[in-house]
Structure 1
Amino acid sequence: MQLAREALDIHISCLYQGDKALLPTYRLEEINIQDGAVLTGVARKLQLLSDFEAFVDGGAWRLSLASENAGVFLAVLPDGQVVSWGGRACSELFCENLRDIAQLKSSLDACAALKRDGTVSCWGLKSSCSKAEVSDRLQGVRSLFATSRSFAALRTDGAVVVWGGALGLENFGGDDSKVRDELTGVRDICSSASAFAALREDGTVVTWGNSCEGGDSSRVKGELTNVVALRATRRAFAALRSDGSVVTWGAITEGGGSFAVQDQLHKVSDIQATEAAFAALKSDGSVVSWGEAGLGGDCTAVQERLKDVASLHANDCAFAALLREGSLVTWGDQTGGGGSARVQGQLRNIVDVRAFRRSFVALRADRAAICWGHCEFTMNGVVDIQGNALGFAALKPDNSVAFFGPSAYSRGFFEAVEDQLQEVAALHVTAGAFAALRSDGSVVTWGTWKGGGDSSEVQERLRG
């Protein structure tokens, strides 16, 4: 790959010989390339990552923990160098060793970056990011996971490495000593705010962390077999088994106790979670929910309409069910997306639903975007949409950006850069700022300084 980069004078992310990927570490004699062979290369482009996108990727419960006053954007340049800005940015000196990032994960007070060589770098509060005791084991990592204050790394050999936990307390998931011997052959990990659950290749589950919030699954250990998927609220877990049944544990009132609906939890095909409730989609298109009633655990008021459901969506306090005929049914916190009566007449021909902290946005086939919950608006001609505490930014078909902000304060940030928002290829977001990646590789930001809205000090480095 180095020879190809030097010959073509471009940065290459991967080379292919037919459909076979050629690893950067391969030598020519190892891959038997002859003179005249045809290889396909994928050119590297600037890549944007954010702590917020990484933070909420693990579940809707995380939305309530993200702060608009702290955020970080990371730009991975075509040559692999990293530029960071925002209130949680790492130092320029640290960034010099932070190359070729493949994944970013965030806890409340630290960030962890997985590099393409399978190693991990961390920055933030020492008690949450210090990995000195496990650094020799952080090799060959394929993915990262986080509770509110701890991290877990899943290696390519199926082993798990954990670190962090404020003040060294094990109840945030940073201490796996009691189950370490069981953490082999792991294929996926799910996290609540203070516990981890590891799904093994044989369909069993191993848990650790706060025992009252999902870290202790001994009550249901005998039932945790043939598990195919895990979901978490802030303090509980649900396991979907291959036969369509569901097993729950953790905080009883926040989804860990499904006793009242257990006889209905069969032939389940998917599970979604708010901060404190679960909803299960069954193969016949019906829905069962349990947990905190006000956060989506009680769907009895709309039960008759929950038929022929195609997909479930959750923000941190409400659910939205997309029916096969293109309409939507919502329940949960009425002011946080669970009440859609005011826009129900517009919720037709829906093709996608986006969940934000206390709002939903429905995207229609005609490219109209309808938002309800904490914010309420309608935009036409929307290709993509991102949102945070400041408002919502929509990518338009002509590659310009439209913005809805509930206050003059938030709209002011956007108006300051609006004339630069042309030829935009993608939008990214922290809890307090937006970043637009333009087709020429330049980056335009707006929002709070701490959220990452001011990139003026790094613009020269972003341009290479």
Structure 2
Amino acid sequence: MDLHVALPSGRSCLVSMGPDATLGDLKVAAQKALQKGFLRLVIHGRVREDFECHLSKVGLEHGQVVYAIVQTPQLAASFQAFALWCCGGGCVTWGHPGYGGDSSAVQEELRMKGVQHIEASKHAFAALLSDGSVVAWGDPGYGGDCSQVKEQLKNVCQVKGTGCAFAAVRQDGGVVTWGHPMLGGDMSAVQDQLNDIKEIEASDGAFAALRCDGGVVTWGEAWFGSDSSAVQDRLQNVQQLQSSHGAFTAILADGAAISWGPAKHGGDSRAVQARLRRVRSVRSSGSAFAALVEEGGRVSVVTWGHPTCGGDSGHVQDRLQNVQQIVGAGSAFAALLADGKVVTWGHPMLGGDSSSVALCDVQNIFGSCHAFSAIRADGTVVTWGHEDRGGDCSQVSERLHEVLQICGSYNRFAAVTAAGDVVTWGLEELENDNSSAQERRKRFQQVRSVDDVPGLELL
């Protein structure tokens, strides 16, 4: 049977299918012929995801046109695993099983209900599904098991993760938590305040919930910003929240910004408080904040927190003109300018010094714990930072074309191309891993061979 597969743009291809072919076979053939890695097939006006169904049962005839929609892939990363999904479809994972790299136990639910969004802790993932329910997998101690609160996880509109726990916001404004009790998984101390919640932000060990009335509720470990008592009287009419590794910053309705948490993580903004009056946005590295602020008729960048992690931007201030976007890595910042150039500051070995690479025509920037990756206008990628931990993509550069999305884990990056190729680079092994070399090679086989991840072609 010959079928025409057409995109909304008008581009089409002809594919020949055998008598026993399934919808999955048709999708894979169309993706290869069109060089589009993520398609949804529309047959008789209906999106079909039942890939095991034979074409003979779908009502297709020789020469018929099948329409296809190009999906946008999304990536999330724990410390040593990745999750890839398209909105409304299934999900594929790879990497260390103990960090969420093995999602086989929940694959059926992910595929049948459809993934809307995925959040990660250090060792686990939590997926918000199309019906408002939530599925988690990975290390139970880090939020990989939500079975005890499953009945409460209905009509969920947001999921957020600390390093070791997750919190979900329901449409009725209620909050559900699970994972490590000391690092955000236990909200009992503030349970009576967690109602009418609008959204939640998370540091590595604490949550901050924004109420619809503009107030803020915090819980978790104090070392990670859970104690907001020193600024509670000022946390009124809050519009946005941003977190670093262990601190929070709130933007108020009048444009002011307030920080709290340990000073070493950016929780003390007093030195620049006078400049934080007309704040447009705030971004964070691991231990510092950077704000875009309207000053004197122009937009300036104001930074505070650990100086080595980007809290001190004095030496690049004269270059921070026409900033469009700021992205944080673990210990540095990168600012994308209107002309496609990039300015960096922070730890020079971990992304703060980009002088060795040509950063022009950049469209988007992505940070990991130790490096940055940027997509240029032509779809190629440039990286900088710690060479062994994602800052050097030279070994896979020939595969990094028409890149759509990049995500950074602790030591690695993963990129997805328009053709559906998944490319990873960086350090494979865990620090302080005393297992044998043979065990480590076996454990990370999936990370090195993402082309063989089950279900990737049918995502």
Question: TM-score, normalization: structure 2?
Answer: 0.70
Amino acid at match of 1:14: R
Please point out which of 388, 393, 406 is paired with 1:428. Answer: 406
State the shift of 1:389 in Å.
Answer: 6.3
Query: Is 1:147 aligned to residue 117 of structure 2?
Result: no
| Distance in 1, Cα, partners of 2:226 & 2:240 | 17
Please point out which of 77, 94, 110 is paired with 2:99. Answer: 110
Query: Is 1:14 aligned to residue 21 of structure 2?
Result: no
Query: Is 1:361 aligned to residue 386 of structure 2?
Result: no
Q: Which moved more, 1:446-455 or 1:328-337?
A: 446-455
Amino acid at match of 2:68: G
Amino acid at match of 1:110: Y
SS in 1 for 2:217: strand
| Distance in 2, Cα, partners of 1:412 & 1:284 | 39
Query: Is 1:376 aligned to residue 398 of structure 2?
Result: no
Q: Which moved more, 1:138-147 or 1:359-368?
A: 138-147
Please point out which of 247, 261, 264 is paired with 1:294. Answer: 264
State the shift of 1:110 in Å.
Answer: 2.8
Q: Which residue of 1 aligns with 2:165?
A: 195
**Does the 8 A contact of 2:160 with 2:202 survive in 1?**
yes
Q: Which residue of 2 aligns with 1:82?
A: none
State the shift of 1:453 in Å.
Answer: 12
Please point out which of 324, 347, 355 is paired with 2:320. Answer: 347
| Distance in 1, Cα, partners of 2:380 & 2:94 | 29
State the shift of 1:385 in Å.
Answer: 3.3
Matches within 5 A, 1:85-164: 101-102=90-91, 104=93, 109-111=98-100, 121-122=103-104, 131=105, 140-142=113-115, 143-164=117-138
* Contiguous gaps of at least 5 residues in structure 2: 7-12, 16-29, 32-37, 431-443
| Distance in 1, Cα, partners of 2:333 & 2:260 | 21
238 and 3 in structure 1: CA distance in 2 versus 1, 3 angstrom threshold: farther
**Does the 8 A contact of 2:381 with 2:401 survive in 1?**
no
**Does the 8 A contact of 1:106 with 1:146 survive in 2?**
no
State the shift of 1:396 in Å.
Answer: 3.6
Q: Which residue of 2 aligns with 1:333?
A: 306
* RMSD between aligned residues: 4.7
Question: TM-score, normalization: structure 1?
Answer: 0.69
Amino acid at match of 2:40: C
**Does the 8 A contact of 1:401 with 1:424 survive in 2?**
no
Q: Which residue of 1 aligns with 2:69?
A: 42
| Distance in 1, Cα, partners of 2:126 & 2:417 | 34
Instruction: Write the deviation string for residues 415-457 of structure 1: whole angstroms up to 9, x where unpaired.
Output: 5566x47854446355445566667777776545669999997
State the shift of 1:276 in Å.
Answer: 0.9
| Distance in 2, Cα, partners of 1:150 & 1:427 | 21
| Distance in 2, Cα, partners of 1:395 & 1:337 | 22
441 and 245 in structure 1: CA distance in 2 versus 1, 3 angstrom threshold: closer
Please point out which of 178, 186, 189 is paired with 1:216. Answer: 186
Please point out which of 272, 278, 284 is paired with 2:248. Answer: 278
**Does the 8 A contact of 1:55 with 1:107 survive in 2?**
no
State the shift of 1:187 in Å.
Answer: 2.4
State the shift of 1:362 in Å.
Answer: 0.3
| Distance in 2, Cα, partners of 1:399 & 1:301 | 40
SS in 2 for 1:320: strand
SS in 2 for 1:362: strand
| Distance in 1, Cα, partners of 2:126 & 2:400 | 39
Amino acid at match of 1:376: D
State the shift of 1:384 in Å.
Answer: 2.9
**Does the 8 A contact of 1:204 with 1:226 survive in 2?**
yes
249 and 453 in structure 1: CA distance in 2 versus 1, 3 angstrom threshold: same
SS in 2 for 1:248: strand
Instruction: Write the deviation string for residues 184-206 of structure 1: whole angstroms up to 9, x where unpaired.
Output: 33222222222222211110112
Instruction: Write the deviation string for residues 83-113 of structure 1: whole angstroms up to 9, x where unpaired.
Output: xxxxxxxxxxxxxxxxx75465988833357
SS in 2 for 1:312: strand
State the shift of 1:243 in Å.
Answer: 1.2
Q: Which residue of 1 aligns with 2:438?
A: none
Q: Which residue of 1 aligns with 2:437?
A: none
* Contiguous gaps of at least 5 residues in structure 1: 57-65, 77-99, 114-120, 123-130
**Does the 8 A contact of 1:421 with 1:436 survive in 2?**
no
**Does the 8 A contact of 2:145 with 2:179 survive in 1?**
yes
441 and 41 in structure 1: CA distance in 2 versus 1, 3 angstrom threshold: closer
Q: Which moved more, 1:221-230 or 1:389-398?
A: 389-398
**Does the 8 A contact of 1:281 with 1:288 survive in 2?**
yes
State the shift of 1:13 in Å.
Answer: 2.1
Amino acid at match of 1:384: N
| Distance in 2, Cα, partners of 1:226 & 1:190 | 17
